[in-house]
Amino acid sequence: MLTLARKNLFKEKARLAISIGGVAFAVMLIVLLRGLYVAYETKIGDFLEGMNVDSWVLQKGAANLIFSYSVLPASLGDRLEDIYGVKEAIPFTARQVGFKLNGKDVVMYVVGFNPDRRGSGPGPLRMDSGKRHIDDREIIIDKVFAGKHGVDVGDTLTINDEKLRVAGISSGGDMVAFQYGFVTRSRARRLLDLHDTTTAFLLVYDENAPAAFIREQVQTIAPTLMVKSMPDMVKVNQRMVNKGFLPVLGVLVVIGFLIGVAVIGLTIYSAVLEHRREYGVLKAVGALTRQMLMVVAVQAMFSAVAGYAVGTAVSLLAAKGAEVWVPQFITTITRTDLAIVGGVALLMGLIAAFVPLRTIARVDPAVVFRA
């Protein structure tokens, strides 16, 4: 029976190609979308954790960095540093700004940083080209922003009527909807109209500092302040991206799954219809419905496995290619995800194998007597 399944499958190469292509497409869709999702989730975490601080002090109610806004007095830093266990309170001065670039409206999340400082605090995650040590008239932009808008080191951006020369290009600051740009902290205050205020403070604790005590002490300064640990801050921001991303991803994964099932199911079903007589012969010579279903199941499973292999290979190649040609399309394809998608592909094949069940069960062995 396996021989029949295999030989029938390979005899009709066009049908086999369609079947494998359908699954490969579905697998590709799922793998790349999942990879995209994991990559962005990881990137959000990487960027925040890259600041290497213990907690954030924000205005109460500022749920995340993107869709909510926090304004704190710059002088608060000294009071925060007076709290027992707080080694340092670093101002986080940042805001999303819109400006015109090459005649188009663009958005950037401008962050102020201290170019002299290394180790902790905000700043570009990795430098790809140019310099990190910038002055007040300069800016470091993310490589995705640079690639998207054709900006390079030496070009000038005009943000809020102020000219900034691109002095460096960094990576790790792409958040899908926007990219981070970095200017000096003093320039950020002027540029973002923050003057004597800042967005948040980043707290660096002494070793073995009492986190709960510090949280209490911050709230005694002003009940409108909120302390978030770095893991909480990462979670909150990831959740915000997930909120927008996961439903879309979920729908597309379901669509991919249905495409896979439909393509295998329809090709197998049409093959069964075309080979109805052969199934009639099998029935006539004593094959059980279960044995005939096995022929179909083997064919469906082969299509699923081959489609999975092709889809995975193409996805990995596409992901590598995208890294070079479309830098904003960054994916993280994990082995666990590939294993899960493999299971999904097998499930596609299994479900598809049952599509022609009724037809097979109802095949009339009398067909064998027709000339």
Partner 1 sequence: MSCKPLLHLDRVSRVFGSGAARVNALEDVDLRLDTGELALIIGPSGSGKTTLLMIAGAMLTASSGEVYLNDAPLSQLRARELARIRLLKIGFVFQSFNLFPALSALDNVALPASLAGMGVRKRRKRAAQVLDRLGLGERLRHLPEQLSAGEKQRVALGRALINDPPLLLADEPTANLDSVSGRNVLALFREIAADEGRAVLVVTHDARIIDSSDRVMHLVDGRLGGDGDWDKEPESAAAPEGTRDGEAAAPSGDQPRSFANGLATSAEDRIRRLPR
Binding residues for partner 1, per CB under 8 A? 1, 3-4, 7-8, 10-11, 277-278, 281-288, 291, 365-366, 368-371
Q: Minimum distance between the CB of residue 39 and partner 1, rounded to whole angstroms?
A: 45
What is the sign of the dihedral through the CA atoms of 16, 18, 24 and 30? negative
What does residue 2 show for φ and ψ, rounded to 5 degrees?
-65, -40
Cα angle: 125, vertex 129, 132; to 5 degrees:
55
Q: How far is the CB of 309 from partner 1 (least distance, A)?
A: 23
Residue number with CB closer to partner 1 (13 or 335): 13
> What does each C-alpha distance from 139 to 104, 115, 152, 156 come to in angstroms?
19, 11, 11, 9
Please state the closest distance from residue 20 (CB atom) to partner 1, in A: 18
* Token duo for residue 344: 């999904």
Residue 89 DSSP SS3: strand
Nearest-approach distance from CB 14 to partner 1, in angstroms: 15
Q: Toward partner 1, which CB reaches closer, 126 or 362?
A: 362
- Residue in 223, 206, 218 with CA at minimum distance from that of residue 79: 218
Q: Which is nearer to partner 1, 127 or 367 (CB)?
A: 367
Question: Shortest gap between Cβ of 7 and partner 1 (angstroms)?
Answer: 4
Q: How far is the CB of 363 from partner 1 (least distance, A)?
A: 11
What CA–CA distances, in Å, run from 236 to 67, 68, 341? 11, 12, 27
Q: Which is nearer to partner 1, 294 or 347 (CB)?
A: 294
Length of the chain: 371
- Single-letter amino acid, residue 92: F
- For residues 284 and 171, what is the distance between their CA atoms, to the nearest angstrom? 67
Closer of 255 and 288 to partner 1 (Cβ): 288
* Positive or negative: CA dihedral 63, 67, 71, 76: positive
For partner 1, the closer of residues 212 and 371 by Cβ is 371
Cα(241)–Cα(299) distance, integer angstroms: 40
62 vs 296, beta carbon nearer partner 1: 296
For residue 23, the minimal CB distance to partner 1 (Å) is 22
